[in-house]
């Protein structure tokens, strides 16, 4: 029997390719540059499976040109690029990669927090410039992290992993979320719930860990920045559109907050020019980018595809209702 045809918008890692190739006839996008939209639409036309990155919109336009498609496997936990409702309507399984990137992403939220607080980017630039004149008492003095208050907006798996790391820094950790964490988790991580406005007022560092949804789009707007301490920093490893970049730039201009460290942007890969300033650390969407974790993410996506085509339920289905359609 012919193997199901799959298009992967990336070459993926060898471990994932092996899993996919064993069960599917896979066409991998071979260029280093991501495929232009028209190429994705052209390649997906006759395919039953799609493995895609978060940069690929799986929407009505794509689903209409791919009538045979049965699964869209996202190599990411965030799936705001996938129109899940339309997938369900069209009988297409949508999957993501939850869990495998929590610790790596939490590591990176901390990387950003430490970098912006301790002015690492400025220091690195000085060290490389040839202009460093040696140690000086008031040189590039940043802010302490230990003993400060960390405010987590979103207290799911990644937020909790960030909180766990804070224990070693003797920080006070507070969080806000639509749903309060079970008491035993709050106790074991030594965190306390706050409503959003109280969290904004109390935190020295605010780290965002919410998915992008209608409720969180533009969540960090001008009034939020004006409620923060002028000495506080914003860290964003969630999704760019959770923060209104123009409002963030205005808050930085007005010194309403001390700085920011960002991994994600409103219109990636565009970065608002007003963010390119010394007290803002900028990373190009790297939070899950350890080789181990990115490999695990690709493997997970491959397993989701193979599960469907071998008659099993894909382990990370976003729309289980779709199975009733088969």
155: nearest Cα among 179, 171, 172, 183: 179
| Spatial strand order in the sheet of 5-8 | 25-28, 5-8, 49-52, 71-74, 93-95
In the numeric block, the tokens 């040839």 are attached to: 130
119 as an active site residue: the answer is no
| Part in contact with ligand DGY (CB under 6 A); list of ranges 40-48, 72-80, 130-138, 158-166 | 72-80
| Part in contact with ligand DGY (CB under 6 A); list of ranges 7-15, 73-81, 276-284, 301-309 | 73-81
26 contacts ligand DGY (rule: CB under 6 A): no
157 as an active site residue: the answer is no
54 contacts ligand DGY (rule: CB under 6 A): yes
The only residue of 4, 49, 78, 314 in contact with ligand DGY, by rule CB under 6 A = 78
CB of 237 to ligand DGY, least distance (A): 8
Q: Which is nearer to ligand DGY, 35 or 78 (CB)?
A: 78
Find out whether 188 and 215 touch, Cβ atoms under 8 Å.
no
Question: Would you state the structure tokens that stand for residue 61, as one six-digit string?
Answer: 């336009």
In the numeric block, the tokens 């006759």 are attached to: 46
**Which residues, 126 to 165, sit near ligand DGY by CB under 6 A?**
none
43 as an active site residue: the answer is no
Report the alpha-carbon distance of residue 218 to residue 237 in Å, rounded: 15
Main-chain dihedrals φ then ψ at residue 296, nearest 5 degrees: -60, -35
From 239, 244, 266, 294, active-site residue: 239
Q: Which is nearer to ligand DGY, 186 or 297 (CB)?
A: 297
* β partners of residue 82: 58
Question: Would you state the structure tokens that stand for residue 315, as one six-digit string?
Answer: 């382990």
77 contacts ligand DGY (rule: CB under 6 A): yes
List interacting residues with ligand DGY (CB under 6 A).
54, 76-78, 101, 288
Known catalytic residues are 239, 268, 285
């Amino acid at each position: 029997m012919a193997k199901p045809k799959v298009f992967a918008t990336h070459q993926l890692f060898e471990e994932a390719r092996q899993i996919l190739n064993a069960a599917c006839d896979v066409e991998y996008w071979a260029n280093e540059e991501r495929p232009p939209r028209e190429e994705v639409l052209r390649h997906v036309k006759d395919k039953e499976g799609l493995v895609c990155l978060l940069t690929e919109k799986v929407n009505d336009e794509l689903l209409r040109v791919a009538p045979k498609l049965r699964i869209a496997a996202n190599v990411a936990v965030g799936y705001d690029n996938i129109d899940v409702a339309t997938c369900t309507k069209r009988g297409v399984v949508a999957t993501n990669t939850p869990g495998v990137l929590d610790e790596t992403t939490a590591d990176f939220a901390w990387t950003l927090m430490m970098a912006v607080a301790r002015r690492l980017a400025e220091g690195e630039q000085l060290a490389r410039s040839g202009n460093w004149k040696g140690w000086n008492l008031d040189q590039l003095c940043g802010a302490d992290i230990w003993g400060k208050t960390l405010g987590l907006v979103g207290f799911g798996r990644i937020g909790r992993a960030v909180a766990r790391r804070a224990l070693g820094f003797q920080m006070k950790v507070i969080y806000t979320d639509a749903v309060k964490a079970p008491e035993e988790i709050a106790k074991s991580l030594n965190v306390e719930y706050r409503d959003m406005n109280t969290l904004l007022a109390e935190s020295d560092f605010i780290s965002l860990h919410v998915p992008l949804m209608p409720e969180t789009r533009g969540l960090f707007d001008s009034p939020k920045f004006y409620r923060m301490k002028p000495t506080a920093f914003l860290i964003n490893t969630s999704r760019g559109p959770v923060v209104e970049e123009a409002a963030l730039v205005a808050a930085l201009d007005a010194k309403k907050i001390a700085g920011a460290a960002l991994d994600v942007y409103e219109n990636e890969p565009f970065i608002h020019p007003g963010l390119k300033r010394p007290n803002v650390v900028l990373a190009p969407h790297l939070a899950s980018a350890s080789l181990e974790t990115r490999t695990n993410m690709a493997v997970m996506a491959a397993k989701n595809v193979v599960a469907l085509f071998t008659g099993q339920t894909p382990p990370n289905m976003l729309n289980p209702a779709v199975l009733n359609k088969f």
